[in-house]
Structure 1
């Protein structure tokens, strides 16, 4: 079976201060089918090379927006990337079918606990509700938007727990790379974490 090619678009303006994201990135498997692309490293002046980014997207089957949750959204460079790279008549519009049927989801870290993200909680909305603009962006670009992979409670986490999440992320990436994916089954879960946990249990 052909391998899925994965592009991780990583956006963290304070990466050096996030040991949780450091653990996630450190565990990303070395594979010719997994591309790690650090936007703040590549574009410190926010001067995004649109054609280069579009060429990268076209070479991959699964796109991951990997970022911390910043004020219920993404860091500014990733927002600029979305604004500039997803051009009319390329990603959307009458002739914009360059990204058609590609899979996309978000890998997110947040200091808040999961129970805070609900109608009765401090943050009032669930993570998927807060991510609806990204979901709609993907849909307008004819992509399949999947539930997010979310790591809650990073402010209370120790390095051992962060390392464990790094291993789960690595296993998830390897599974996505090597397997045929049932989108209906994936979309029936609230978080991708839960879907992958069920797959891991079934596979021993």
Structure 2
């Protein structure tokens, strides 16, 4: 343990997570959306956030691109930087849970070990992995940012699905097929699941 760590002591909050959950009228947890670029992670997460917000829930979306504009702007896309990117988001998400909010994270997060690390940071009922399934072929057809085209031309290195691996979740809590189902259908499926689990 470093000297810096030895001199740090956790300060307990007067207002607890349980207090905030009771006031908000719902549980706080992470819905971790993972999948290939252009699979629909951010679109579904934001549509769900709008629905939950309109129901009076405390909810926030952490989007991969948005976070890289600020908190993680110093990170690139090699394997080590991707791991650090996810580690930081996991810690931020943990703070959101403590604040009593529902946090929706939309990150490719290609490595199982990194997603499992985030899961280990919080309680067993506080992390739900949502695999946004869409074939590489369909994602390339969509390509809203033109990233696949650049990756195919080798203008982008370490691009998931082309020049870098994506490890599919082995036992996700929820699977959404955005190739076969509409955004609205995906949101309804998520709301049903959250109600069944008595999280909202």
Point out the structure with max Rg over C-alpha.
2
Higher relative contact order (CA 8 A, sep 6+): 2
Alignment TM-score > 0.5, same fold: no
Aligning the two structures, in what range does the TM-score lie when normalised by the shorter sequence?
A: 0.3 to 0.5
TM-score, normalization: structure 2? 0.42
State TM-score, norm by structure 1: 0.41
